[in-house]
Chains A and B, each alone.
Chain A
Amino acid sequence: MALAPADTGSETTTQIDRAGVLSGRRFAASLGLDAATLFGLATVVSLLVLIEILVRTGAISSLIIALPSEAIGAIFHGETFLKLVQATKLTFGMVLAAMVAEVVIAIPAGYLLYRYKAFGKAYEGWLASLFAAPIFLLYPLFMVIFGRNNFTLIFMGMAAGIIPIIVHVRLAFTSIPPTLIKVGRSFHMSESTIFWKIMVPAGAKTIFTGIRLGLIYTLINIIAIEYLVDAGGLGRMVSDSYFRFDITGTYTAIIAVTLVSVVFNIIVNRIEKLVR
């Protein structure tokens, strides 16, 4: 019985908690969000407010961390926004060019490695090693060969993105159940019809996974080299501000590039879901 008051208190607290959660859920539902999403959003906003207070009070130097309000607000200023749009166009134009080259080269290459199995086995270990290798380190070499221009960036993006596509195209064709191909043969389909009507649709999901990985690797590598050589689009936006020691500009550029990457990843994931 000695526990009774505590029990009552706990019960009351639980009721308050429940009421709080319920009202939180109602509020979240009214915004079209679930409670967890709202909690995540509230945490991020709270962190930003905390950083804002710490920087404004001088607890954190504004030479190290920019005011979140200024850095985020600057994205929507006319000049910065225009720069962001131009940089995004430039970077994604290069990513697109690299991707076209990757698909054109990697799909036949992956098919040939499937078709000639000894070659596939011989190269699979090398391709796996290249998958994990820092290919972007070759950029000083290609800078000298092709010059400090967009073609070098496209080439380096392609060199990194082509590997996962080749690996997944080969994997897609080797994973097709032989029964499917036997069914095609039993219907007296030509080899070309079997390829286009059976093998390509059956391997489409795996091939698309490779293309998605290739796309992400291409974007990451192009932005990395843009940052390192201070050329091109999105990567250059960050390095340019940093080299001028424009702290707010640096944070603005980083947030802007992050937002562009997030939107890009959402679009790619949506497309992948459609394909699946």
Chain B
Amino acid sequence: MSDVASPAAEAKGPSVAAIKIATIAVLLVVWQLIAVSGLLYKGLVPPPLAVAGALVTELIGTTLWRDLGITLFTSFSGFVIGSLIALLVGIWLGSSTFFRRAFEPYILALAGTPKIIFLPILFLVFGLGFESKIAKSAMSAFFPVVFSTIGGYLQIRLILLRVGDSFHLRWAQKVRMIYLPAMLPSLLVGLRLGLAMSIIGVLSAEIAYSDAGLGYRLMRYSDQFQIPSMYATIIVIFALASLVNAGFNHFQRSRLRYLERPGE
């Protein structure tokens, strides 16, 4: 516990980039050592080069892109549907204390429940095709977006709401010209989380029951014990999640910068 809060130790330390490179190198070496050590079942931890080879094979093939396209299509479709419903519900509950007090506890209760347990209902109602995956994606996106919308609406300055009333704006005009711009910082946080949840939701539904998509692909490789291809698929999925997250972060920052410009 020595030197608990002193910044001196950091001043002379390695650079951030060096730490990142060294960490990746150490992880690869450890991975290689585990692969050749014979500690685990043969083939369970293939060497990094074997996984890299499987990844290249996956990337140059056509079926990965088809599965990736299906997962992205179902995730984004559900995300759009779930977010739109959440936006409307969020504005409704945000603008009415009575209805918020009436229904928010139920939404809050469902939000904390693992959504995967609702999959049987979605399969029974929407079937085993892509419709149930879109519904799962919409359900996963709904909760973060509805709470960020309610939070965002409650933070709108009263004077802005009164300006809308004094100009006799229609509801749709108020949403477009007042609510959405004023709620944007809070809403974007919810949308980013909602998008991540949508992708995870679709992957879990594809694992549970599907004949296409990245989740299905992962399970097929796992069942067939094609371990390098399974690792390659996991890498693709994690890369997809990171890319979507980074892309939305970039969009979020650019929108917030635009809003903060003088005169906007």
Binding site for B on A (CB under 8 A): 34-37, 39-40, 43-44, 63-65, 115-119, 121-123, 128-129, 132-134, 136-138, 140-141, 144-145, 178, 181, 191-192, 194-195, 199, 216, 219-220, 223-224, 227-228, 234-235, 238-239, 241-242, 247, 250-251, 253-254, 257-258, 261-262, 264-265
Contact = CB atoms under 8 A, between A and B. Distances in A.
B5 to A, nearest CB: 5
A262 B109 CA distance: 5
A145 B101 CA distance: 48
A63 B125 CA distance: 10
16 contacts: A34-B101, A35-B98, A36-B102, A117-B10, A118-B16, A134-B238, A141-B231, A192-B4, A219-B114, A223-B114, A223-B116, A235-B114, A235-B117, A238-B117, A254-B118, A261-B114
Interface residues of B, number: 64
B61 interface: no
Contact of B120 (A128, A140, A145, A254): A254
Nearest to A268: B112
Nearest to B246: A129
Contacts of A261: 109, 112-114
B72 to A, nearest CB: 14
A258 B23 contact: no
Contacts of B16: 118, 121-122
Mostly, the A contact residues are helix
A10 B208 CA distance: 56
Interface stretch (B80-88, B196-204, B256-264): B196-204
A224 B204 contact: yes
A195 B110 contact: no
Given A116-B13, A132-B245, A137 B203 contact: yes
Contact of B110 (A238, A239, A258): A258
Contacts of A227: 114, 116-117, 119, 208
Contacts of B103: 40, 43
Contacts of B196: 132
A262 B113 contact: yes
B13 A118 contact: yes
B91 interface: no
Interface string B96-137: 011111110110111011101111110111000000000000
Nearest to B97: A36
B19 A44 contact: no
Contacts of B9: 115-116
Interface of B: 1-5, 7, 9-10, 13-17, 19-20, 23, 40-41, 44, 97-103, 105-106, 108-110, 112-114, 116-121, 123-125, 193, 196, 199-200, 203-204, 207-208, 215, 218-219, 222, 230-231, 234, 237-238, 241-242, 245-246
A122 B19 contact: yes
Nearest to B2: A191
Contacts of B123: 242
Contacts of B125: 64-65
B153 to A, nearest CB: 17
A39 B102 contact: yes
Nearest to A181: B5
B44 A134 contact: no
Contact of A64 (B98, B99, B124, B200): B124
Contact of B14 (A35, A37, A118, A253): A118
Which of A63, A118, A257 has its CB near the most chain B CB atoms (within 10 A)? A118
Given A122-B19, A132-B245, A262-B109, A242 B120 contact: yes
A148 B109 CA distance: 31
Contacts of B99: 36
Contacts of A39: 98, 102
Contacts of A195: 1, 4
Given A116-B9, A138-B234, 15 more contacts: A116-B13, A117-B13, A119-B13, A133-B242, A134-B241, A141-B222, A141-B234, A219-B114, A223-B117, A224-B116, A247-B124, A254-B118, A257-B117, A262-B109, A264-B112
Contacts of A181: 4-5
A250 B12 CA distance: 60
B204 A132 contact: no
B116 A122 contact: no
A145 B200 contact: no
Nearest to B118: A254
Contacts of A64: 124-125
Contacts of B113: 257-258, 261-262
A36 B117 contact: no
A37 B241 contact: no
A250 to B, nearest CB: 5
A261 B169 CA distance: 42
Nearest to B196: A132
